[in-house]
Amino acid sequence: MIILMKGQVFKIHSDFYYVNFDNKIYECKLREILKKQKSKILTGDFVEFENGAITKILPRSNFLTRPSVANITQIVIVSAVKEPDLDFEQLDRYICFAKYHNIKTKLCFNKNDLSQDDKIIEQVFSVYEPLGFDIIFTSALEKIGTEDFKEILTNETTVFCGNSGVGKSSLINAIFPNLNLKTNEVSEKTHRGTHTTRHCEIFEKDNIRIIDTPGFSNLKFDFITPQTLTTLFDDINKYAKHCKFADCTHTKENGCEVLNNSDKIAPSRFQSYKSFFKESQEFKEKIKFESKKKESSQKISQNKNLAKISIQKRQSSRNNLRQQIYNEINNGEEE
Ligand SMILES: Nc1nc2c(ncn2[C@@H]2O[C@H](COP(=O)(O)OP(=O)(O)OP(=O)(O)O)[C@@H](O)[C@H]2O)c(=O)[nH]1
Ligand SMILES: [Mg+2]
Ligand SMILES: [Zn+2]
């Protein structure tokens, strides 16, 4: 007899999907039709399955691509105050990424036992509390702050995001004793984590559901335009919105509203903005160049039977094209 069941994907390992139904885990494969449709299943997806084959992915309430997870209710960005050193730019990357996906976000600063540097604590609160984030300091090792952390996590499906080695899996071990997730020391040489967690996986107990994820080292803003990027910085956008220059980059223009108020923006945040701005500008250049290239190659194929343009002429038209793109970008024109 075929019984259709609905469950949630707790873990994905090569071609196997581990689906939780009624607190039992079923190992499933993907039905051929879904494979053909190139459907990508994410950890956290609700699915229908029968006889060990997933037949349908149910609609998602939301999803992230880095890490690849679906149907979450909040993101906790985990940083370490030491080992590895707290990297504010990396923290801002995760914050912008979460904001881009419009998902409630909280900040956890772990390894509190290694440093009680007042300067760091002060910077964290003065920069991130006004932005509306709940902030918690923890030590997974000494179980400091973990009871308060549990409260933040109760009745939520939380994805832990953060660099390798900051202690995401260790925190889950502290919250769910007996789980014994694999953890690994931060390299003495590079001061970085060793990418110990390889897959996204959901852990659940007492109304707390956490998704452990691998740390990412190359989260880049190479998929959004500068204009979108600005909207991800509330503290900068509040001035950018009133900037009198329509095509302003808000990084160097005389008379720019953001620069006029730069003393009210935390220097570390402005620095992050400038770095990500460069990345999003490169993306904009790339899409402009590719769309123009496509357009011109279409024109060429349509005119195949017409006389060939001389090499010299083609070179000059390419130069014109490049110039045109650079002009457009410099004018900050949005597609
Ligand atoms: N002193 C101290 N060390 C910690 C704490 N939390 C984690 N660690 C150590 O930091 C190292 C990295 O911890 P993991 O839990 O593996 O880090 P992770 O974020 O899961 O790393 P990836 O799985 O690689 O993304 C381990 O050696 C842990 O024992 C803490 O609160 N204090
Ligand atoms: Mg881990
Ligand atoms: Zn401006």
The tens-digit pLDDT sequence of the chain (335 residues) is 667 899 999 999 989 999 999 999 999 999 988 888 888 999 999 999 999 999 999 999 999 988 999 999 999 999 999 999 999 999 999 999 999 999 999 999 999 999 988 999 999 999 999 999 999 999 999 999 999 999 999 999 999 999 999 999 999 999 999 998 999 899 888 888 888 899 999 999 999 999 999 987 778 898 899 999 999 999 999 999 999 998 899 999 999 999 999 999 999 999 999 999 999 998 888 887 777 777 777 666 666 555 455 555 555 554 554 444 334 433 333 22
Ligand 1 pocket residue status of 272, Cβ below 6 Å: no
Question: Contact, 206 vs 81, CB < 8 A?
Answer: no
Q: Which pLDDT score, from 0 to 100, does residue 43 have?
A: 98
Ligand 1 pocket residue status of 259, Cβ below 6 Å: no
Terminus-to-terminus CA distance in the chain, angstroms?
Answer: 55
Q: Which residue has the least CA distance to atom 1 on ligand 1? A: 111
Ligand 1 pocket residue status of 167, Cβ below 6 Å: yes
Tell me how far the alpha carbon of residue 268 lies from the centroid of ligand 1, in angstroms. Answer: 25
Residues, beta carbon < 5 Å, ion ligand 2: 168-169, 196-197
Q: Which pLDDT score, from 0 to 100, does residue 304 have?
A: 57
Ligand 1 pocket residue status of 141, Cβ below 6 Å: yes
Q: Which pLDDT score, from 0 to 100, does residue 273 have?
A: 97
What is the C-alpha separation between 332 and 322, in angstroms, rounded?
A: 15
pTM, two decimals, is 0.86
Q: Which pLDDT score, from 0 to 100, does residue 316 have?
A: 54
Amino acid at 49: F
Domains of the chain (ranges plus CATH)?
Answer: 5-59 (2.40.50.140), 69-212 (3.40.50.300), 226-330 (no CATH)
Which among 66, 116, 184 is the best mutation to test ligand 1's pocket, defined by most ligand atoms within 8 Å of the CB?
Answer: 184
What is the C-alpha separation between 70 and 68, in angstroms, rounded?
A: 7
Ligand 1 pocket residue status of 7, Cβ below 6 Å: no
Ligand 1 pocket residue status of 158, Cβ below 6 Å: no
Half-sphere exposure of 154 (CA within 13 A, CB side): 7
Ligand 1 pocket residue status of 140, Cβ below 6 Å: yes
3-state secondary structure of 106: strand
Please give the backbone phi and psi of residue 197, each rounded to the nearest 5 degrees, phi first.
-80, 130
List 12's β-bridge partners, or say none: 17
Q: Which pLDDT score, from 0 to 100, does residue 315 have?
A: 52
Which among 82, 114, 142, 170 is the best mutation to test ligand 1's pocket, defined by most ligand atoms within 8 Å of the CB?
Answer: 170
Ligand 1 pocket residue status of 50, Cβ below 6 Å: no
Task: Read off the tokens for 200.
Answer: 């996204």
What is the C-alpha separation between 120 and 143, in angstroms, rounded?
A: 20
DSSP letter, residue 134: -
Q: Which residue has the least CA distance to atom 8 on ligand 1? A: 167
Ligand 1 pocket residue status of 11, Cβ below 6 Å: no
Tell me how far the alpha carbon of residue 203 lies from the centroid of ligand 1, in angstroms. Answer: 17
